[in-house]
Each structure stands twice: as C-alpha cells, then as structure tokens.
Amino acid sequence: MKAYFWFPLILLLSGSLTLFANENAERPNIVIFLADDLGWADVGWHGTEIKTPNLDLLASQGVKLEQFYVQPVCSPTRASLMTGRHTFRYGLQNVVRPWADYGLPTEERTLAEALRDAGYYTAITGKWHLGEVEKKYLPLQRGFDYHYGFYRGAIDYYEHTASGVGGLDWHRNGKPLREEGYSTDLIADDAVRVIKNHDDVKQPLFLYVPFNAVHGPYQETPEKNLYEQYTDLKGTRKIYAGMIASMDNAVGQIVKALEDKGIKDNTLIFFSSDNGGPQPKVVTDNGPLRGGKATLYEGGLRVPAFVVWPGKIKPDTVTEQPIHIVDLYPTLIGIAGGTLEQKLPLDGIDLKELFLENKPLARKEIPLYSIPNMGAIRVGDWKLVRSRTQNMVAAIEQPGLTNNLESKTELFNLADDPNEKNNLAESNPEKLKELFDRLEAYTKQTVTPLGSKPRSPDYKPKEVWGYFD
C-alpha cells in the first residue's frame, strides 16, 4: 500500500489519541482516604499531641472542611458516601453485623458504578462493611474493578480474622487470601501497587482506601517507635496514638506513589473519618465537641476532613460551611464528567464551586440522622437532637428498652455554643417547633432500619469466604 495512504490515517489516529489524552487530563484521578473511628482532635491541625505530619502536609495543600458531617457509625457513613443519599431512605441506619442477612440495597447506584460508567478504573483497598451475606453485596458487584481487603466491620490487624466472631476475612477479588502483615501496612502496600500498575493514559483512576485504622482491636504496630515516642501517654491511648502514626505513614506512602507516578498534580484527594471517636477522653479525643461515636452530638457526627486538588483548590484554605458526606457523590461524579441521571433522587449537592471559590451554599438544612423517635437536624446555625437514649445503636437494637424511656429533645445554637452545652429548647419554643417540624418531615420519609437481628446461638462464621464460587 502506498505510504501517502497511511499519512492521513496516522494523522487522524494521532489526533484521536490526543483528544483522548486531553479528555483524561481534564478529569482528575480521585483518591478517597477514610479513617475508622478517628477522633476529631486526633490530627495535628486540630492541636492534638498525636503527630500526623503526612496528613498535616496534605491538608495544608487544599481546603480543610471544619464542619464536615458523617453518620454516627461505620456502615451508614460508607453507604452515604457510596450513594449520595441519606441512609434513612433505604434502612441502613445501623452497622451491618457479621450475621446480618442484608447489605446496601442493590437498587442503590454506587459511586464506583457511576465513575466506572464515566470511564474510570475503580479500585478499593481496605474495609467494605456494606454487606457480604450474598455475592450481590460485594465490592466487585457494586462497581469496583478491583478489591483487596475485608468485608466486615473489624478485624484482627495481624490475623485478619473477623473481630468477635472469628473466621478469615481477608480477600483479593472475591478470593480468600492468607498472608502475613499488619493490616494498615498491607492496605497501603496494595494501594501503592494499584497506582504503580495503573495505565493512567488509558483511563483515570478512582482509588478508595478505607482503612480499618484506628478501629479496635487496639493492637501495637510492628514499628515500636510509632507508639514509644509518646512517653506521656498511657495504656490504650498510647497504642491508639501509634496506630494513628501508622495510618499517617500509610497515607504518606500512597501520596508518594502518586508523585512517583507523576499523577499527583492531576489527582483530587479527599480525607475524613467515618464517625467520631469512641471512648472520648479515654482512648480517642474529640476535643471540645460533645459526645462520640454512636451519638448524635457533634462529637459523633463531625470529623476531621479535607480536600486537595492541585491547581484547582487554593492551598491553606478553610471552610466553616456545613457539609455532609452525601455531597461527595454528586461533586465527584460531576468533576469526573459522569451523569447524575438515575432512578433514585439524590440528597447530596455539588460542592465544586465551594471547593474552588468558597462560594456559599444555597442549602441551609441538613438532616443528620433519622430513625423512629430519634434523629437530628441542622438548620443554619441551629441544631435539634431528639432521642430516648444517647446511643443510637441501642435505640435500633433494643427498641423495647429504649421505647420505654422518656423522649428528650435538645436545641442548640452552634454559632454561640459549638460544644452543645446549653439546651435552648425551653427558651426558644418557636425555633424548637420549626426544627422539630422539619425533622418530623424527614421522619415520615424514614424507612424502618434493617437493624441487626439477634445473633443466633447456632451462628458460625465462614472460615474461608470462597463459598460464592
């Protein structure tokens, strides 16, 4: 064939490749770090005695989200992130127990599915905790091209067995995996492997890294210096500090892999915890915020968070605007060039203009949690908490007990009282009624929690989870 025939064809193909490369260049890689049970004050930029140099440096490169809300426990936060919808709409207001016969409802479209449809390679290294009783609930069936880690809520950091029930819970792409190592280190190593092996010219990357750190069991890290440096800390708090240091190192290792690959400047990075710290002032530290994990006070719902996007988000910035984790879904899909057309309506809103220009959000109302007779809502600076018990897990799992308790309604002005010390319910009856009515409107939309049926005495964990094949 004549050479002159190939010349325009080569030009056409090279032009197509250039357009394809430019299209990918406009769409950033996306990396989400999700810590587990990290206290609000247990990061360097909130003044803790615990050192988090890698997180501090990364946070300084973007915008710190100082009023970032999540759900009060693990699974609901992960579900909110994955769906952009409040969990009271589909009954996932509680943790998915190891013996649960449900998972994130398959009618829900996930963030991974939306980003994969937009052309992204999707990978998760770490904790899933959105159901595993059937194959349809697993990560590879919910939009991820690659999975490494564990399915349930907590594992032994060395044995990789499910905490409290036993049985191996460590997998790669649906196959049980037996390997040695501290889980935080293994999760980081695998995330680095994903980055190194990824063809970033062919397609952008969505990497979800939900650590099991620093959730219990509290186990010393292999590197003794990580906790021995804290000579003023004692007992579990000292071990916890070392576990945070290990996670901080893991984040630094993954960010370095992005730099070595030459793609960090085209990567959007998000970090937060999944809920407030448990056992505040004993193990974790939520600073001045009231309450902790499983409560509807700020210490249970507000977490350290930031977003970095080089060249787009101005470094060393802070926003005090209230944001909810459901907002990440439409924001990231929009940035990725994906579609938000779907069967189920979204609760989240697009934060791109807030991130890039710190524009005020039009939304003034955020339902923070809802089950029958218990919930919380924020409207402007005002927040209402309604409960029969401080612990929402008890309200779901022991309704007979909690329903016999007197209902308690508290009203706070977070602008004047961010630590929720002064209940203004009696002195502000009109504002109380306004927020109560708004919360009741969401209560009417609330699906009864799938909850957690009692553990059967005959329950036995699956020792090897290859039984789906």
HEC sequence for 1-43:
CCHHHHHHHHHHHHHHHHHHHHHHHHCCEEEEEEECCCCCCCC
3-state helix, strand, coil in the chain (%, to 5): 35, 20, 50
Q: Is the model's pTM score more than 0.85?
A: yes
Which tokens go with 331?
């924001």
From 46, 86, 129, 324, active-site residue = 129
* CATH dotted code for 365-443: 3.30.1120.10
Do 35 and 213 contact (CB within 8 A), yes or no?
yes
Q: CA torsion angle for 255, 259, 263, 265 (degrees, to 10)?
A: 90
CA–centroid distance for 15 within its chain: 40
pLDDT block averages, 10 residues each, the chain of length 469: 44 43 71 98 94 98 98 98 98 93 96 98 98 95 98 96 91 95 98 96 97 97 95 96 98 98 98 98 96 97 98 97 98 98 97 95 95 94 93 86 86 97 97 98 94 71 48
* 171 labelled catalytic: no
In this prediction, residue 7 carries a pLDDT of: 43
At residue 170, the 3 state secondary structure works out as coil
**Pick from 173, 195, 332: nearest CA to 251:** 195
From 74, 86, 198, 324, active-site residue = 74
Provide the 10 A C-beta neighbour count for residue 285. Answer: 26
In this prediction, residue 165 carries a pLDDT of: 87
For residue 422, give Cα distances in angstroms to 408, 412, 419: 14, 7, 9
The sheet with strand 146-150 has its strands ordered as 175-176, 171-172, 146-150, 121-127, 205-210, 29-35, 267-273, 305-308, 63-65, 317-319
* 215 labelled catalytic: no
Say if residue 214 is preceded by a cis peptide, omega within 30 of 0: yes
Domain ranges of the chain: 27-357, 365-443
Which residues are CB-neighbours of 268 under 8 A, at least 6 positions away? 28, 29, 30, 31, 307, 308, 309, 312, 332, 335
In this prediction, residue 39 carries a pLDDT of: 97
In this prediction, residue 449 carries a pLDDT of: 93
* CATH dotted code for 27-357: 3.40.720.10
In this prediction, residue 452 carries a pLDDT of: 64
The size of the chain, in residues, is 469
Do 241 and 227 contact (CB within 8 A), yes or no?
yes
Phi, psi of 333 (to 5 degrees): -65, -40
At residue 54, the 3 state secondary structure works out as helix
Phi, psi of 34 (to 5 degrees): -125, 110
